Amino acid sequence: MTGRGRLPAWAWPLLALPVVAIVGVWAYRTISAGIQARLEATLRTMVGADVSALRQWLTAEANLAEMMAADPRVRAEIAELVALARRTGGDAEALKAAPAQARLRDLLAPAVSRQENAGFFVVDPPAWSSRASSTSASAPGWC
């Protein structure tokens, strides 16, 4: 029974091909969108956690700096270094060789030695603000 309106057996797969292609594209896009949404949510969570951890770390570091700066011995050594910087025009060698620098290092050593990449620096706010437009590295206040 081979009627005129009947398709040969090999033609049926060709007719099904567009349907299979459309279903495949739809499945790919649906799965891809789901994976991308999950990845985006995971990355947002990770960034949020990192930001929170960084804020906590910065708060702890600020608290440590405030605690060290509140020590009257530290304040005295810093005052001596600032006075020396103002007298010498911020001469780096004079500041590094100053006895106050050595005493300050000794005072801060217990706190600084517990952290791998910690150090300290002293900022003289009046010299720092007056130097905002200066490019000279030898101006007062830079140690």
Look at residues 44, 138, 36, 31 and name the one whose alpha carbon lies nearest to residue 95.
Answer: 138
| pLDDT per residue as tens, the chain (143 positions) | 455 678 888 888 888 899 999 999 999 999 999 999 999 999 999 999 999 999 999 998 889 888 888 999 999 999 999 999 889 888 889 988 999 999 998 988 888 877 776 777 777 777 654 443 333 444 444 44
Structure pTM? 0.56
What's the pLDDT tens digit per position in 94-116? 988 999 999 998 988 888 877 77
Which residue type occupies 100? A
**DSSP assignment of 8-21, as one string?**
PTTHHHHHHHHHHH
As a whole number of angstroms, the distance between CA 129 and CA 141 comes to 10
